[in-house]
Amino acid sequence: MAAISTSDIKNGITLVIENNLFTVIEFQHVKPGKGGAFVRTKLRNSRTGAVIERTYRSDERLEQAIIDKRDTQYLYRDGDDYVFMDQSTYDQVPVSSKNLGEAANFLTETGKAMLILYNDEIIGVELPASVELVIAETEPGVQGDRVSGARKPATLETGLVVQVPLFVGPGETIKVDTRTGEYMTRA
């Protein structure tokens, strides 16, 4: 673990604070007219997702966590675990659904994902910006119902329910934004 100065804080770095991992979302160096400079930060807990705000003096030292990112491919589900294959070593890595969170809604076999590890503990997963998923079930569009922007619910192959336009039918492949979980376009 590396000790860094508050002047080295950047968006996206991960810090160890009170035995928890926090990722810097925002930071602001403040130099008031009177008194010492300080850094105001917004931090997200990497395990729980909670956001906190902290202020540090300019002479404080913080502990930076060394994060490892591994390029993986999703293989299959084994009970409560999702099994990924490391693209460089071809090792199979089981990941619990608790560690995946909402990312599990976008995983299909042979899908790509980036596992984020800290001391061999999986703390998160990064997905591509969009994924292509097949619609498993939706109601057919009604003939003559052409209201612009009208939407209907559709259940995808992963079980995720998204709102799609009326013209999209079952069995079609659509692109879904993994950050918002919304329909983007037909694939």
Which of 64, 96, 115 represents a domain boundary (last residue)?
64
| Residue 56 and residue 78 in one domain | no
Which of 126, 147, 176 represents a domain boundary (last residue)?
126
| Residue 9 and residue 59 in one domain | yes
- pLDDT band (50, 70, 90) for residue 7: confident
Sheet arrangement for strand 38-45: 2-5, 61-64, 14-17, 20-30, 38-45, 51-57
Range 148-157 average pLDDT: 84
Which of 45, 64, 83 represents a domain boundary (last residue)?
64
| Residue 94 and residue 120 in one domain | yes
Given a cut of 80, whether residue 131 has pLDDT beyond it is yes
pLDDT digits (tens, 9 = 90+) for 23-52: 899 999 988 888 888 999 999 887 777 899
Going by their DSSP bridges, the two strands 121-126 and 14-17 should be labelled as unpaired
Cβ atoms of 114 and 103 closer than 8 Å? no
Given a cut of 80, whether residue 142 has pLDDT beyond it is no
Cβ atoms of 98 and 112 closer than 8 Å? no
The enclosing domain of 159 has a CATH number of: 2.40.50.140
pLDDT digits (tens, 9 = 90+) for 57-99: 888 899 998 888 899 999 998 888 889 999 999 999 888 887 7
Residue 150 domain boundaries: 130-186
Q: What total number of domains does the chain contain?
A: 3
Half-sphere exposure of 29 (CA within 13 A, CB side): 10
Can you give the pTM of this predicted structure? Answer: 0.71
| Residue 38 and residue 60 in one domain | yes
pLDDT digits (tens, 9 = 90+) for 54-66: 999 888 899 998 8
- Cα distance between residue 130 and residue 172, in whole Å: 16
| Residue 46 and residue 78 in one domain | no
Question: What percentage of residues in the chain have a pLDDT greater than 90?
Answer: 19
The enclosing domain of 52 has a CATH number of: 2.30.30.30
Three-class SS of the chain? CEEEEHHHCCCCCEEEECCEEEEEEEEEEECCCCCCCEEEEEEEECCCCCEEEEEEECCCEEEECCCEEEEEEEEEEECCEEEEEECCCCCEEEEEHHHHHHHHHHCCCCCEEEEEEECCEEEEEECCCEEEEEEEEECCCCCCCCCCCCEEEEEECCCCEEEEECCCCCCCEEEEECCCCCEEEEC
Given a cut of 90, whether residue 148 has pLDDT beyond it is no
| Residue 121 and residue 73 in one domain | yes
Higher pLDDT, 120 or 38: 38
Distances from the Cα of 74 to the Cαs of 4, 85, 96, 119, in angstroms? 35, 6, 13, 21
| Residue 57 and residue 6 in one domain | yes
- pLDDT band (50, 70, 90) for residue 100: confident
